[in-house]
Homo-oligomer: A and B are copies of this chain.
Amino acid sequence: METTAVHSDKELFIKIVITNWELQNKRLNGLLGKLSDEQITAEVSPNRNSGAYLLGHLTAVSDGMIPLLGLGEKLYPELENIYVRNPDKSDFERPSLAQLKEYWNHVNDTLSAYFSNMQPDEWFAPHTAISAEDFAKEPHRNKLNILMNRTNHEAYHLGQLIFLK
């Protein structure tokens, strides 16, 4: 009975976090579906990042969760340099918008598949970028925390992408 309760609490937490992540994805995908390619490649506000850059940025950051959560290797490691380490309008060869959208969907589908196979306890383990020493002191910095943090990050940029409408 106690064990079931523990299990069920953890599953409930995980469900809350994944549901909130899916909600942001759903909103972003809904927005992408409404925008023309021309709208997506425009700047979200004068002299700010373009929608395409932000889509690449979000794709790279979500892709980065795969190794950070200990699930595997990044699908598109080349995106980090273009969309995270460097600003928009840098002189890099970039994926086309059609490719970017495909990458975005593939990263999210891959994460969803990984998540559905994770055991509840795995979410409460340290992510791969925190030392055992720090985790002992701050046990809330687990994998679930990473997903929550990245969900907020997505919401932040969604607030900007909405200006493309």
Contacts and interface: CB of A to CB of B under 8 A. Distances in A.
Interface residue range, chain A: 35 or more
Nearest to A163: B45
Q: Indicate how many identical chains form the complex.
A: 2
Interface string A130-165: 000000000110101100110111011111100100
Chain A interface SS verdict (over half): helix
Interface stretch (A16-24, A63-71, A81-89): A16-24
Contact of A17 (B3, B19, B46, B148): B148
Contacts of A16: 140, 142, 144-145, 148
Interface of A: 2-3, 5-6, 9-10, 12-13, 15-17, 19-20, 23-24, 44-46, 48, 124, 139-140, 142, 144-145, 148-149, 151-153, 155-160, 163
